[in-house]
Amino acid sequence: MRQSAGFILWLTGMSGAGKSTLSRALRERLESMRPVELLDGDEVRTWLSRGLGFSREDREENVRRIGNVAMLLARHGVGVIVAAISPYQGSRDEVRRMATAKGIAFVEVYIQASLDALIARDVKGLYKKALAGEIPHFTGVSDPYEAPSAPEVTVRSDAEPVEAGLERTLEALRARGLLPGAAAA
């Protein structure tokens, strides 16, 4: 792919895993190289997916909506960073298939952390409430989180610095010819 081609960089992981942290670092690094847009799951839920609940169907619809906006932007040469829990493998795969069918590169980044680490860094106490049964449909506690089966990049946010995940993710984009540097084979 040529450098001006848009792409979708999809960061998935449980609440508090570090998706927003890594996505902001990626945006900061990429802005000097190309047009880039960040679609953060919390902001999308406020503006694009208002009215959706947390049933499986609503969560899958949320992912489809995010994916559609990401594809529209990528089609116009924007590097789109999506930071969304997106808990179901099937809906992430659906977006990947649709993007690929349109010639848009899709790179999945799994931000992984142990439940103990997520609980320890949870300043809002959401995991504690979910474990106590006070929050229904909480991903990874009372609702499933399906880890990616074959992400292009895995980041262990509880075991490595943000910079390490940032560099591996940028290298994955370079390897596909989406950034300056090594060209895709």
pLDDT digits (tens, 9 = 90+) for 14-36: 999 999 999 999 999 999 999 99
Q: Judge whether 133 lies within some domain.
A: yes
Say if residue 18 carries a ligand binding annotation: yes
pLDDT of residue 172 exceeding 90: yes
Q: Is residue 92 part of a domain?
A: yes
Q: Where residue 79 sits, what CATH number does that domain have?
A: 3.40.50.300
**Is 120 marked as binding a ligand?**
no
The answer to whether residue 35 sits within a structural domain is yes
Domain count, the chain: 1
Would you say residue 183 lies in a domain?
no
Are residues 10 and 82 in contact, defined by beta-carbon separation less than 8 angstroms? yes
Q: How many helices (H) and strands (E) does the chain have?
A: 7, 5
Q: Which residues pair with 81 in a beta bridge?
A: 9, 38
Span 143-170, pLDDT tens digits: 999 999 999 999 999 999 999 999 999 9
- Would the annotation count 20 as a binding residue? yes
Catalytic residues: 86
Q: Where are the alpha helices (DSSP H) in 48-183?
A: 56-75, 89-101, 115-120, 126-131, 162-175
- Asked whether residue 23 is marked as a ligand-binding residue, the answer is no
Q: Tell me the HSE value of 151 on the side-chain side, using a 13 A CA sphere.
A: 21
| Residue of 92, 82, 102, 108 lying closest to 176 (CA atoms) | 108
In this prediction, residues 2-8 reach a mean pLDDT of 75
Mean pLDDT of the chain: 91
